[in-house]
Structure 1
Amino acid sequence: MNDDFYDKGLEKAKQKDYAGAIEEFNHALQLTPYFAEAYFQRGLAYYDLGAILQAVSDYTEAINLNPESVEAYYCRGLARVALKNLPGALEDVERAIRLNLNYAAAYSLRGIVRRKQGYIQDAIANFKKAAQLYLEQQDKENCRLCLEQIKKLQPPEKLAVQSIKNTPILSTNDYFTQLLEKAEKGDTREAIADLNWVLQADSQDAQAYCCRGVVRCKIGNYREAIADFNQALKLNFQEAIVYRNRGKARYLLGDHQGAIADFNQALQMQPQDVLVYVARGNVYRAMGNYLSAIQDYSQVLQINPNDAQAYYNRGIAYTLLEEMQNAIEDYQRAASIFCEQEDWENYQQVLTSLEKIQKFSPESRKQKDNLLRQRLLRLVGGYWEIAQRFIEQKQDYYPGMSEEWYIQKVIDDLERDRGR
């Protein structure tokens, strides 16, 4: 008979007839006053009915009868949160965790309590632990809820200032922005772990693949980064950020033509993206195509005339093209802007570069050689590798001549062949 009342109570609670369920549990407890599970289930019904104090009383009785009841501690903690009894709630949820170290809901509740107490980092740590456990249990929805709690608690941070040598990361928004900012500050391992959680919860999240690719690229895992960017594209995440960062990874792996192709695609999507022009200019420069590099840096300066990094990069390209006067002008302009910005590290770097090239005297033999090299480079489209092959051919035919003679000979032959 006792089980009949209890079973009826469970059925009525399932039908959301909480008052009827409480009545059935009352009958069960009249017959068996030490029925711990009946107290627990009646507490749940009271809680769902909004009678929180009665719920706490029943949970307490259930705990007295069964001190190992993890669910009773958890539910009493939940009810105490509703009553704003945070110390009592924290005590209950910590007891539940001691009884079951893998109880995901308890970590999530402790995160809520710590958040309400103002311990934000502790709250985040608990939500992360809960999310991890939910993933292991294949509970995707509760995992996402925990990640949402983390997103709300993590404050936005300013992106770190980039140096000349580094290409800034342009992130997507919201939660992924915060993860990328975390990676930018050096917490790459934690950012990767968070993104792995997201992808375990939803393997079709293209934005997460893109974000993880950016972080992997930052830590030097270029092949894995490219795999993530490829997956994002397969899932139709056709964004400039994917092509720009995949281009960066391909460049760093030595695939210059592939990098150029990706940067071209990114510029079709965002024609005013100065970061892409800078990145493509750097690749052209690495390839020895200094004229194309200069064109890209000049495009940046058309969009933003005060971009010190673009002046500096163009100055480097001019130096490699041996157009020293143009290089000096660009270095001076870059130094001036860095000085105004009080960016002393980059300011000093530009001054060092400027000092090196200002040693050339217009009257010196070296400068004359540089002018010849400049003429030759222009005749071969800015590719010094091509010029060098022509020079080596002349050295084979006319051994024993000076370097200046060979360069002049190549220039004369090229201009004659082109009818100049």
Structure 2
Amino acid sequence: MTNSEQITQLIQQEKYQEALRLLQQKAQSGSDAVLLSTMAHCNYRLGNFKQSADELTEAIALAPDQAQLYSDRGISYFMLGDRENSFRDFNKAQELEPQNPYRYSSRAYVKDAFRDTKGAIADYQKALELDPEDAISYNNLGLLLEKVGYQKEARQHFEKADEIEGRKTGNNISGKQTAKQDKPAKAAEKKPTVVSPTPKSKMTASHLGNTIKSIFTTRKGFQEFLQFWLGKHPDR
């Protein structure tokens, strides 16, 4: 078993401390954006959110045009309760990928958590403009509309969410606050990548990158972040 395969297996087994030890050894011979973001993954799972954010900062220095790295760091800042830096990174991710609906729906969820309901509604509306088949965004937008008193519009969004989800899975989701779906978000369908030697070049696939998925790239992973954070910060 190669070192990368061993790291992958440890992460799949949720043995993050052991995986981190091997990653740190690997980093001694040189780091790239994937290696750093994978270390950030492990540190997040261990509750080391500041370290996770710092490692993502290093990854961004190597790959400043990768929206997912900013989104990942934005969630780390979110977990730390750092509203300003969290929004800065979510905004940067959106600027880099303005046609990616997940950039808006993920930012909307965070805006709502920080009680910016108006901003969250606008982001969900934009996400649905870009992806009118996103049942999750219809559902969550319905919840926000219900919260601000637009009951009729909320019901319409719940019905649309159930219609879409019913076509896909045969299940209904309306009225349940959620940030996940059965399949990965569109942004996550791309394979994780590694930075090439030239700083401004696009990232290319690597074995380690292809076998270790970031917890931040699916709505399921994002939901886990939010549930944990809300448990630690019940007043937010």
Give 2:74's aligned residue. Answer: 247
Give 1:196's aligned residue. Answer: 24
| Residue 32 of structure 2 corresponds to residue 205 of structure 1 | yes
Distance 1:211 1:276 in 2: 21
Query: Could you list the runs of 4 or more consecutive aligned residues of structure 1 that deviate by over 6 angstroms after TM superposition?
Result: none
Change (3 A) 1:219 1:317: farther
Change (3 A) 1:320 1:194: farther
Contact preservation (8 Å) 2:67, 2:96 = yes
Change (3 A) 1:273 1:197: farther
Alpha-carbon RMSD: 2.7
Give 2:122's aligned residue. Answer: 295
Once the two structures are TM-superposed, the CA of residue 294 in structure 1 deviates from its matched residue by: 1.0
Give 1:305's aligned residue. Answer: 132
Contact preservation (8 Å) 2:139, 2:176 = no
Change (3 A) 1:215 1:339: farther
Contact preservation (8 Å) 1:214, 1:245 = no
1:120-199 correspondence to structure 2 within 5 Å: 124=1, 127-128=2-3, 147=4, 150=5, 179=8, 183=11, 185=12, 187-189=14-16, 191-199=19-27
Give 2:155's aligned residue. Answer: 328
Distance 1:191 1:299 in 2: 38
Q: Deviations over 1:181-210 (max 9, x none)?
A: 974x553525434433321332x3233112
Stretch moving more, 270-279 or 185-194: 185-194
SS of equivalent residue, structure 2 residue 132? coil
Contact preservation (8 Å) 2:141, 2:157 = yes
Q: Which residue among 167, 174, 187 is the counterpart of 1:350?
A: 174
Once the two structures are TM-superposed, the CA of residue 225 in structure 1 deviates from its matched residue by: 0.8
Change (3 A) 1:182 1:265: farther
Distance 2:77 2:50 in 1: 8
Give 1:106's aligned residue. Answer: none
Q: Which residue among 101, 105, 113 is the counterpart of 1:286?
A: 113
Contact preservation (8 Å) 1:188, 1:219 = no
Q: Deviations over 1:300-357 (max 9, x none)?
A: 111111101111111121122121111111111112222222264xx3x52568xxxx
Contact preservation (8 Å) 1:248, 1:279 = no
Distance 1:277 1:215 in 2: 26
Change (3 A) 1:217 1:332: farther
Contact preservation (8 Å) 2:143, 2:175 = no
* Number of residue equivalences: 176
Change (3 A) 1:351 1:282: closer
Contact preservation (8 Å) 1:315, 1:328 = yes
Q: Which residue among 231, 234, 242 is the counterpart of 2:58?
A: 231
After TM superposition, the score normalised by the length of structure 1 is: 0.38
Distance 2:93 2:160 in 1: 29
Structure with the higher helix share, 1 or 2: 1
Output the amino acid matched with 1:192.
L
Change (3 A) 1:313 1:188: farther
Change (3 A) 1:276 1:191: farther
Contact preservation (8 Å) 1:226, 1:249 = yes
Distance 1:240 1:225 in 2: 16
Q: Which residue among 114, 132, 143 is the counterpart of 1:316?
A: 143
Change (3 A) 1:220 1:315: farther
Percent identical pairs in the alignment equals 24
Q: Deviations over 1:2-21 (max 9, x none)?
A: xxxxxxxxxxxxxxxxxxxx
Contact preservation (8 Å) 2:139, 2:175 = no
Once the two structures are TM-superposed, the CA of residue 229 in structure 1 deviates from its matched residue by: 0.8
Once the two structures are TM-superposed, the CA of residue 271 in structure 1 deviates from its matched residue by: 1.0
SS of equivalent residue, structure 1 residue 341? helix
Change (3 A) 1:291 1:268: same
Change (3 A) 1:286 1:208: same
Give 1:384's aligned residue. Answer: none
Once the two structures are TM-superposed, the CA of residue 285 in structure 1 deviates from its matched residue by: 1.1
Q: Deviations over 1:141-198 (max 9, x none)?
A: xxxxxx4xx4xxx9xxxxxxxxxxxxxxxxxxxxxxx94x974x55352543443332
